[in-house]
Structure 1
Amino acid sequence: MSLEQKINQDIKAAMIAKDNAKLRGLRAIKAAILLAKTEKTQVEELSEDAEIKVLQKLAKQRKESGDIYKNQNRDDLYQIEIEELQVIEEYLPKQLDRTAIEEVVKGIIAEVGATSIKEMGKVMGAANQKLAGQADGRTVSEVVKGLLS
């Protein structure tokens, strides 16, 4: 079952349960998937990687908006963003913690043979491929910098 089919089923369930917070998040996911499909020249189904990228983009947007609202003391809007973020994260692959990311990056550094910060690009390219959907790019970058410097 594709992500889009699962989202459609979950939207129906949220409507029946009258769960407005979940319904908002699910509708945002559905809208983003439909938009991504139309951008990709009328494809029938998005690949799993493309679906994950769409979800990551939505999650990142919600986190950034939530931070802005929190800084501006808009707790009502902050709460909405956090509720939607929680719904979106349910459909993302489990995120690795920092120690697990460090272990993967150490293996990549050894594999690539990187010894200095100048070779960060090689390591980041391999790390982004290996950790796609499992780790935030900013966190991976911080770990790579820390290990290479």
Structure 2
Amino acid sequence: MLEQEINKEIKAAMLSKNEARLRGLRAIKAALLLAKTEKGASESITEDAEIKVLQKLAKQRRESAEIYKTQNRDDLYTIEVEELDVIESFLPRQLSAQEVETEVKAIIQNTGASSVKDMGKVMGAANKQLAGKADGKLVSEIVKQLLSQS
């Protein structure tokens, strides 16, 4: 389970006095704890739910880092990037744009989609197949691009 792995990693980061890793790990632990205690949540969360929590954290860090970069706040930008690296180390490997395009082409062929009107059908299948492996925004852009070409 991810929670136990995070706890072990926190202890290791404390012992090695790795502040950046410790911050990232504590953020993950807090988010998982929140997810477990949400209204209607069961005592333990599924692996899919854990991945969604991690993706949400990574997205928040990416967006914050972008904002800090544009505002020339390198001190805050560095913190966000360090935490993002820690969070991403627990996520499944992300597919490249080319790999996503290959997957989406296969999905378009399987669903028989032929125009942008079929985007919803393709996105539904793509989100199921690529969950946790690719950024939703990237998938959406590729689906739109491929469907508008046909």
TM-score, length-scaled by structure 1: 0.98
Residue matched to 1:115: 114
Distance in 2, Cα, partners of 1:123 & 1:8: 39
1:21-53, Cα deviation, whole Å (9 max, x unpaired): 000000000000000001153522110000000
Q: Aligned pair 1:28/2:44, yes or no?
A: no
Distance in 1, Cα, partners of 2:14 & 2:45: 25
Residue matched to 2:62: 63
Q: Could you list the runs of 5+ residues in structure 1 that have no partner in the other structure?
A: none
Contact 2:24 2:82 in 1 (8 A): yes
CA RMSD in angstroms, aligned pairs only: 0.8
Distance in 1, Cα, partners of 2:111 & 2:119: 10
TM-score, length-scaled by structure 2: 0.97
Amino acid of the residue matched to residue 122 of structure 1? K
Distance in 1, Cα, partners of 2:51 & 2:129: 14
Amino acid of the residue matched to residue 46 of structure 2? S
Structure 1 residue ranges, 4+ long, deviating more than 3 angstroms after superposition: none
Q: Could you list the runs of 5+ residues in structure 2 that have no partner in the other structure?
A: none
Map 1:2-81 → 2, pairs under 5 A = 2-41=1-40, 43-81=42-80
Residue matched to 1:85: 84
The change in CA–CA distance for 1:132 and 1:42 in structure 2 (over 3 A counts) is closer
Residue matched to 1:106: 105
The change in CA–CA distance for 1:42 and 1:96 in structure 2 (over 3 A counts) is closer
SS of 1:96's equivalent? coil
